[in-house]
Structure formats: structure tokens, C-alpha cells
Amino acid sequence: MAGVAMFQSSMTCLSLTCNSFLGQRLAPASFFSVPVNNADRVLSPLIVMKLKRWERKECKPNSLPVLQKMHVKVGDTIKVIAGREKGKIGQIIRVFRHNSTIVVKDTNLKTKHMKSKEQDEPGQIIKVEAPFHSSNVMLYSKENEVASRVGHKMLEDGTRVRYLIKTGEIIDSKDSWKESRKLLSKKQEVSTAA
């Protein structure tokens, strides 16, 4: 207490008040308060949430996620080579490039419990296609019934296309692109109508 009284008297000698101390406005109670023992003080725990390394998305300097290069595209026919769905053949309906995952039609179905949107409407239990990693799939040839890795080559007209290494079958063509676009638009129409 003596130290605080001495400090107050030195402040008056310098003609400094607690309201004009170095241009900052300080409250008198907080400025001249006596320190409290740490045992009397109740500390609230500091909550710090850290994401795990596998939950973080790698970002560019502008905070957008880094998009990965992928060997598959929307509309490709693939065969699942690993996981619970191993051996299934399907078509890709959605691609997530920031974490290299894909959604395959009628594969990796998960049960989702939907709440009712209106008061009269009951809730639902529906099956939804869940994404899985693109490394668990290989491109599939329906004609030869074989899964293969993908290669890239230039055609005579200068277009760069993907092809199956085992069969030599060209994947990228204008017809297959149009079919995949039609499939995607039909899926969007169905989801908006429901």
C-alpha cells in the first residue's frame, strides 16, 4: 500500500493525471489498483481450436485452396480398385479437386437422416453417394472390360487427349463430353424438381 501511495504522490508532482497518461485514457480503478493474489483469481480456460494436419486444406497466398491435378473427369467410366466398394464399375458424377475426391453413381452409398422441412411433412432416411479418394479408382474400358492407367498424347490435329494405356482407347472425345454434360444437366433437373 505504501508503494501505491508513493506512486500517486509522484504522479501529482509530475502533474500527470490518470486521464492524460501518455495520451491514453486510463480508468482510475484499474490504474491504481492493488494486485490480487493468483490463488484468489479464477482463470477461464483459453479455448484454442487447431485443425489436424489431415483436416487442413493447402491454400495459395490468396487463401484459395490448391486444386490438385486428377487423372479422372466427370463422365468417365471407372472401376473401384480399393476399399469396401472394390470391383464395382460406375460413372463419375462429381469431382472435388481441392481434396482429390470423386462421387461415383450408385457407389459408396451412405444413409442420411433428413429432417422434415415443413410441419406436416415427415422426416426421411435416404441413401446418398459419398465421395472417396480418386486414387482408389482406375479408368475402365467397357468394350475390352479391363481397367487401365491413363496416358496423354497429341493427335494429328494438335488436340491433347487422354487414352487408356492397356488398350489404346481414346477417352476424350466430343461425343463423350456431350453425353456427360447431358447426364449432369439431367441430374440437376431431378434435384431441383425434388
174 and 117: one domain?
yes
Q: What is the pLDDT at residue 16?
A: 45
Q: What is the pLDDT at residue 102?
A: 94
81 and 174: one domain?
yes
Q: For residue 166, is it within any domain?
A: yes
Q: What is the pLDDT at residue 66?
A: 83
Q: For residue 71, is it within any domain?
A: no
Residue 107, C-alpha cell as written in the block: 457407389
Task: Compute, in degrees rounded to 10, the torsion defined by CA atoms 165, 137, 69, 56.
Answer: -160
Domains: count for the chain:
2
Q: What is the mean pLDDT of residues 86-103?
A: 92
What's the distance, CA 143 to chain centroid? Answer: 36
Least confident piece of the model among 14-28, 43-57, 58-72, 119-133: 14-28
86 and 177: one domain?
yes
In percent, the amount of the chain with pLDDT more than 70 equals 66
Q: What is the reported pTM?
A: 0.59
Q: For residue 135, is it within any domain?
A: yes
89 and 159: one domain?
yes
* Residue 133 belongs to domain spanning: 77-193
Select the more confidently predicted residue: 7 or 124. Answer: 124
CA angle 95–98–101, rounded 5-degree value: 40
Q: For residue 21, is it within any domain?
A: yes
Residue 191, C-alpha cell as written in the block: 434435384
Task: Output the average pLDDT for the chain.
Answer: 77
Read off the pLDDT band of 20 (50, 70, 90): very low
> Could you tell me the end-to-end alpha-carbon distance of the chain, in angstroms, rounded to an integer?
75
27 and 87: one domain?
no
Q: What is the pLDDT at residue 185?
A: 78
Q: pLDDT (tens digit, 9 = 90+) per residue, 29-50?
A: 444 445 555 554 444 455 555 6
Cβ 171 vs Cβ 163: under 8 Å: yes
97 and 178: one domain?
yes
